[in-house]
Amino acid sequence: MSLSILGEGFDLHGGGDDLVFPHHENERAQAEAAGHAFATHWIHSGMVMVGGEKMSKSLHNFTTLGDALDRYGAGAFRLAVLQVHYRSQMELTATELGAAAEGMQRVQNLRRRAERAGVTPGTPDPDALAAFTAAMDDDFGTPAAVAVVFDAVRGANAALDAGTADVAAVRLGAVEELLGVLGFGADAAVAAADDDEIDALVRDRDAARAARDFATADRIRDELAGRGVTIEDSATGTTWHR
């Protein structure tokens, strides 16, 4: 199957570390004994664990991918996986997925802040790109690569705080560039669509408050709170965050 789909001498063959022997060694032996060039590199991932035990159907301790995506979203699931090196065992419970969801929310909060400040992604920070590349070149070191992304998030927020739009644009550019490399592009589009709906509700609430229709304003605030959105009113306008 591998040879028919990928051809001879394909780059990467992966699987769990429980398949190193005998499954993968036999697979390679059979292919090469038949005269076929097989995989050039092998990547074996650690097991997914729950409370120190391997996640498995037989132990009834598993969460399906569909359930995880429905509850936390694709971005959070992807981030949770990337924050653990592929060769390490990985705990994938509500704790890890919840923390990853909070991490994705930090990215969304930065995007909204930058938009309100009129800052768009600029040419990516070359130092961030170099650090990210070095991490990925070191045995697909995704935890260190993700750390580079969130260093850029912090840096962009700090630049927005300081009012240095040019610096914020460079760091925001790095965030978007590197998230795209890691496959988060589609999630940004989904989140943006959701943000547009929330923005519209916030505008409706502002209009209701201006008309002194406080019952409608309170209803909208309660609806947003039910969706995990916090409204903050200030002299400079209304902001929101999850």
| Dihedral angle, C-alpha 12, 52, 68, 225, nearest 10 ° | -140
| Predicted local confidence at residue 68, as pLDDT | 86
Q: Architecture of domain 46-183 in CATH? A: Up-down Bundle (1.20)
- Lowest-pLDDT range of 198-202, 210-214, 235-239: 235-239
Does residue 32 carry a pLDDT above 60? Answer: yes
What is the overall mean pLDDT for the chain? 89
pTM recorded for the entire structure: 0.75
The SS3 call for residue 46 is: coil
pLDDT higher than threshold 70 for residue 192? no
**Is residue 190 over pLDDT 90?**
no
The answer to whether residue 75 scores a pLDDT higher than 80 is yes
Rounded mean pLDDT of 16-29? 94
Of residues 61 and 123, more confidently modeled = 123
Please give the Cα distance from 149 to 164 (Å, whole number): 19
pLDDT at residue 58 above 70? no
Range among 1-5, 98-102, 134-138, 196-200 with highest mean pLDDT value: 134-138
Q: Are 51 and 96 in contact (CB under 8 A)?
A: no
For helices 94-116 and 142-162, the axis angle rounded to 10 degrees is 30
Tens of pLDDT, residues 115-174:
889 999 999 999 999 999 999 999 999 999 999 999 999 999 999 999 999 999 999 999
ω into residue 22 within 30 of 0, thus cis?
yes
Token match 């936390």: residue?
Answer: 72
Is pLDDT above 90 for 189?
Answer: no
pLDDT band for position 44 (50/70/90)? very high
How many Å apart are CA 198 and CA 177, to the nearest integer? 26
What is the pLDDT at residue 116? 86
In the chain, where the domains are located: 1-45, 46-183, 189-241
pLDDT range class, residue 99, cuts 50, 70, 90: very high
Residue 188, pLDDT above cutoff 70: no
pLDDT of residue 57: 67
Q: Helices 165-181 & 126-137, crossing angle to 10 degrees? A: 20
